[in-house]
């Protein structure tokens, strides 16, 4: 059994083992035992990180994209090489099954690689001048400046990889604050960059008290851009702070994804795909399908297959063989699941399976399926961010689309149909940043990931994710 690493901060190329602000503990969600601890960044560390990021930006932004690619590609290669060890650390602190952690680490390497390659061919645009005396007009993309990045605990390698991949490839320096519940995964990613030869100060990692760190970084003149992934409530707060200081801002927030299963879809095959998508990461995925709206003609068959699939899932510690769903991140999330289920049941919902925490140490909650929860109950309105699926029948497609679009969220939406016309209609009318028709695979290194409405602003990954870390600069040259 491999031990959990000592967690350090990384500032100006140095690993910081302790600070004058003390330590905070890190728990293993699968058994509630203390895994380790991390040093809390105080004012001195935050100031040092800001100055390092400011200094390093001057040189890194002036480094040719081709040379930046060399360093970043090496970091991606190290991440692949170390995937087995990092996946284990990820599972220990986050809880998800080892196979999921391995996929996350390897996909993160692909994301980093793709963004750095894309930066090598970031094209400027020439605009024909109006006047004879003007020789050239060029619209170019320049790195936005030092970035403050905040990432959550549900994908502790992948979400930092999207932000670091885009920012570093574009020529920005970064101060990243990963989630304090899963800090070692991100630290190992940062170590790959450091070992690949990223110059000191280009990438800094701090940990501590999130609100204090956010305040200290966003208000500071050294930081040009803020990128956050997490809850809509926190994302809104950071948007306000960023706006006050006129900082560029990208936010990838919560979702409450609908899934419309039309009458011409195969109910059993669709349910099999849906169970895997729903309970991946124990449902702690922003694009997780939540509201399954199934045409009445196939509803009974879908429900039977979905509930059987949910019941059959093997729940346990992510490090154990054959486990398909791990624990939730913390006790507060288990308590929240119980509250959401109780509220739904009090509002007439039917419990088809699950509904309670497992009677064992660790933050385990059963795969849960609720039927006909009333539209006003909490779980129909608020992102559950856990292993709860809501099943409902519909008669008319228009009604299903209206229900799908009824919430303020707009991250992901899914639909299943064999009819091309219906697929086109659903693609056009579902209000979401990402729509998956006949599958759930909407997150790829090459494609933009992001939401509309209350689910955020801007994109990550894909060319769009790179452009988030650039400003537009127009240069006009007279002869």
Contact between 281 and ligand NAD by CB under 6 A: the answer reads: no
Catalytic annotation, residues: 252, 286
Contact between 202 and ligand NAD by CB under 6 A: the answer reads: no
Contact between 109 and ligand NAD by CB under 6 A: the answer reads: no
DSSP 8-class letter at 4: P
Per CB under 6 A, which region of 30-38, 118-126, 230-238, 264-272 contacts ligand NAD?
230-238
Cβ neighbours of residue 89 closer than 8 Å, sequence gap 6 or more: 2, 4, 5, 184, 185, 188
Contact between 210 and ligand NAD by CB under 6 A: the answer reads: yes
DSSP 8-class letter at 315: B
Q: What is the residue whose two structure tokens read 């020529």?
A: 171
Nearer Cβ to ligand NAD (194/253): 253
Contact between 254 and ligand NAD by CB under 6 A: the answer reads: yes
Q: Report which of 134, 216, 151, 215 is spatially closest to residue 475, judged by C-alpha positions.
A: 134
Q: Report d(CA 223, CA 177) in Å as an integer.
A: 14
Q: Which regions of 97-166 does DSSP assign to beta strands (E)?
A: 125-126, 134-143, 147-150
Q: Report d(CA 340, CA 279) in Å as an integer.
A: 17
Contact between 211 and ligand NAD by CB under 6 A: the answer reads: yes
Cα-based angle 12, 18, 46 (whole degrees, multiple of 5): 45
Per CB under 6 A, which region of 119-127, 147-155, 290-298, 402-410 contacts ligand NAD?
147-155
Of 234, 310, 435, 442, the one binding ligand NAD (CB under 6 A) is 234
Per CB under 6 A, which region of 110-118, 223-231, 341-349, 414-422 contacts ligand NAD?
223-231
Contact between 442 and ligand NAD by CB under 6 A: the answer reads: no
Q: What is the residue whose two structure tokens read 């966003």?
A: 218
Closest distance of CB 210 from ligand NAD, Å: 4
Closest distance of CB 82 from ligand NAD, Å: 24
Cβ neighbours of residue 165 closer than 8 Å, sequence gap 6 or more: 72, 111, 112, 114, 115, 116, 461, 465
x/- string (CB under 6 A) for ligand NAD, residues 382-421?
Answer: -x-x------------------------------------
x/- string (CB under 6 A) for ligand NAD, residues 446-475?
Answer: ------------------------------
Q: Report d(CA 388, CA 121) in Å as an integer.
A: 43
Applying CB under 6 A, which residues contact ligand NAD? 150, 152-154, 179, 210-211, 214, 229-231, 233-234, 238, 252-254, 286, 332, 383, 385
């Amino acid at each position: 059994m491999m031990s959990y690493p000592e967690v350090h901060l990384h500032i100006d190329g140095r690993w910081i083992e302790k600070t004058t602000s003390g330590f905070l503990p890190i728990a293993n969600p699968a058994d509630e035992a203390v895994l380790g601890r991390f040093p809390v960044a105080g004012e001195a560390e935050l100031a040092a990180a800001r100055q390092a990021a400011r200094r390093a930006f001057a040189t890194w932004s002036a480094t040719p994209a081709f040379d930046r690619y060399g360093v970043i590609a090496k970091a991606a290669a190290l991440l692949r090489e170390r995937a087995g060890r990092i996946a284990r650390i990820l599972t220990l602190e986050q809880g998800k099954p080892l196979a999921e952690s391995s996929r996350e680490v390897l996909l993160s390497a692909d994301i980093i690689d793709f963004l750095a390659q894309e930066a090598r061919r970031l094209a400027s645009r020439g605009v024909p001048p109006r006047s004879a005396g003007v020789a050239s007009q060029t619209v170019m993309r320049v790195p936005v400046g030092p970035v403050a990045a905040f990432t959550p605990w549900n994908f502790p390698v992948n979400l930092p990889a999207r932000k670091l991949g885009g920012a570093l490839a574009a020529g920005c320096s970064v101060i990243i604050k990963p989630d304090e519940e899963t800090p070692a995964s991100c630290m190992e990613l940062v170590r790959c960059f450091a070992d690949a030869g990223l110059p000191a100060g280009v990438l800094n990692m701090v940990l501590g008290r999130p609100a204090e760190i956010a305040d200290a970084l966003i208000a500071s003149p050294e930081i040009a851009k803020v990128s956050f992934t997490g809850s809509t409530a926190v994302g809104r707060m950071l948007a306000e702070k960023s706006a006050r200081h006129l900082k560029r801002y990208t936010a990838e927030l919560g979702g409450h994804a609908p899934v419309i299963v039309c009458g011409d879809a195969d109910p059993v095959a669709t349910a099999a795909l849906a169970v895997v998508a729903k309970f991946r990461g124990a449902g702690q995925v922003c694009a997780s399908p939540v509201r399954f709206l199934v045409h009445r003609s196939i509803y009974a068959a879908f429900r039977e297959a979905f509930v059987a699939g949910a019941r059959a899932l093997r729940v346990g510690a992510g490090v154990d063989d054959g486990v398909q769903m791990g624990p939730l991140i913390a006790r507060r999330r288990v308590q929240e699941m119980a509250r959401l289920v109780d509220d739904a049941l009090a509002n007439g919902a039917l419990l088809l399976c699950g509904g309670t925490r497992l009677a064992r140490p660790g933050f385990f909650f059963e795969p849960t399926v609720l039927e006909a929860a009333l539209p006003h109950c909490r779980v129909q309105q608020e992102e559950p961010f856990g292993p709860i699926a809501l099943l409902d029948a519909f008669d008319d497609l228009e009604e299903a689309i209206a229900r799908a679009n009824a919430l303020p969220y707009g991250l992901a939406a899914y639909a299943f149909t064999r009819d091309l016309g219906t697929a086109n209609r659903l693609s056009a009318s579902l209000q979401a940043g990402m729509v998956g028709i006949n599958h759930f695979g909407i997150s790829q290194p090459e494609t933009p990931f992001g939401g509309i409405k209350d689910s955020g602003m801007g994109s990550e990954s894909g060319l769009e994710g790179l452009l988030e870390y650039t400003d537009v600069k127009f240069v006009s040259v007279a002869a």
